[in-house]
Homo-oligomer: A and B are copies of this chain.
């Protein structure tokens, strides 16, 4: 075929002669006049021979009994009330044996047409899988996004139907949970976010030494030095104890306490008004809130009232105190008022395969370079062991390059160069795919916002409930064949 094409390109006249010879021999006899048929698809006429239609067995066009049902004897044509544009591609399948699809068309409409003409999807030519795949992928993205924002839409709709006490409860829930539902809710969200930021700042400044003072109650609370000397646990924990023997300035503690009270009330109100308690507790953000509150109050109790911190409750106190660090994760509440952040999380979740691929190949390749660098730098003792070489490889491959460890031998430097360049390639490839995924989610979400917004969806739901007849509108029986 390839060779043939080249020959044809050079001497088309020769090939023409050959073809005309072949035709003269075969065509006049093999195709009788009665095989020629005309098909009217939605007003457009197509002409072909019955021989062509029989090239693909077990389809609507090659089944004579089905075909004859749509035959109009007066005009001697077959009539189908279908899309004539798609039929071009269907008929070309019979003519050439390859089922191509119109580029850029929607896969759902393609599927309906293929289904009507009884051609299985597996007959689609390899080069057109892309057409089938593309829109299917887009729809999957949209479905995932709809699922993420489902609660919001259903709550929004619910708010229009409720009355009495439940209406008040729902209004409070909408006010606290959905910043976009009203202006006061938006302002409250802004204020609450400021509180979270303050809480985070307080927490950070509590660790700064110039904001801490020696705790005067330290002796009455517990004989900490005794614990230190006596217990194996605390041996070597000098830096940690610098924090336990001091306390932050009182105004920081007071702010902290006020904020804890507000957070507790807000959490309680949200829980009480929530229409779906189950989902509420399953949400990661709420679990973090709960964990924070469950740790905060006992640690306050122990700080304030427990006079003697012995080695048993000391450990518990440390654990509780440590877990209050979970408040840092509350910053991700930003995602509640920021769609982009939510979309990013959904996109990252749906790209988990690519992320695994990235992390997996990153670990393997760094480990490989670590071993190679360790071996090549053995004499210079740059790396004390393979683990430290691994740390170096990670720092090099991500191009962070702290400079705490670096190769000094020529071989080591060559390996380091390869490591850095390989890192750029290995990390860029999956990130490019994740980036494309995210871009797709992002743009589909913007389309969703524009054309399938909360208002539209809600109206659609309510309209459907009113007149059930409308629902059937989108389910028109599509295998109907008209006759006249």
Contact = CB atoms under 8 A, between A and B. Distances in A.
Nearest to A33: B484
A192 interface: no
Contacts of A203: 386
B399 A398 contact: yes
A190 interface: no
Interface in A354-369: 354-364, 367-368
A136 B479 CA distance: 35
A296 to B, nearest CB: 16
Interface stretch (A36-44, A147-155, A169-177): A36-44
A265 interface: no
A141 to B, nearest CB: 11
B338 A357 contact: yes
Contacts of A360: 334, 338, 341
A146 to B, nearest CB: 9
A96 B432 CA distance: 38
A239 B383 CA distance: 11
Nearest to A22: B479
Nearest to A24: B69
Interface string A350-386: 0001111111111110011001001100111100111
Copies of this chain in the oligomer: 4
A47 B390 CA distance: 72
19 contacts: A23-B69, A38-B43, A42-B47, A42-B95, A51-B482, A95-B478, A97-B473, A98-B108, A98-B112, A100-B106, A207-B387, A239-B378, A325-B375, A338-B356, A391-B413, A398-B399, A398-B417, A400-B401, A424-B427
A9 B123 CA distance: 9
Contacts of A128: 106
A63 interface: yes
Given A100-B106, A207-B385, A434-B429, A23 B66 contact: yes
Contacts of A433: 438-439, 442
Contacts of A362: 421
Interface residues of A, number: 193
Interface string A316-338: 00000010010011011010001
A209 B386 CA distance: 11
A364 B332 contact: yes
Nearest to A119: B12
Contact of A429 (B13, B142, B438): B438
Nearest to A26: B480
A88 B105 CA distance: 13
Given A58-B13, A474-B98, A483-B31, A236 B379 contact: yes
Contacts of A107: 127
A403 B108 CA distance: 55
A5 B438 contact: no
A73 interface: no
A447 interface: yes
A347 B429 CA distance: 10
Contacts of A63: 16, 20
| Interface of chain A: mostly helix, strand, loop or mixed | helix
A109 B133 contact: no
A186 to B, nearest CB: 16
Contacts of A374: 207
Contact of A379 (B208, B240, B354, B406): B240
Interface stretch (A75-83, A254-262, A272-280): A75-83
Interface in A237-281: 237-240, 243
A111 interface: yes
B328 A344 contact: no
A232 interface: no
A35 interface: yes
A364 to B, nearest CB: 5
A349 interface: no
A190 B104 CA distance: 41
A145 to B, nearest CB: 11
A420 interface: yes
A230 interface: no
Given A82-B95, A85-B88, A36 B400 contact: no
Interface stretch (A214-222, A302-310, A449-457): A449-457
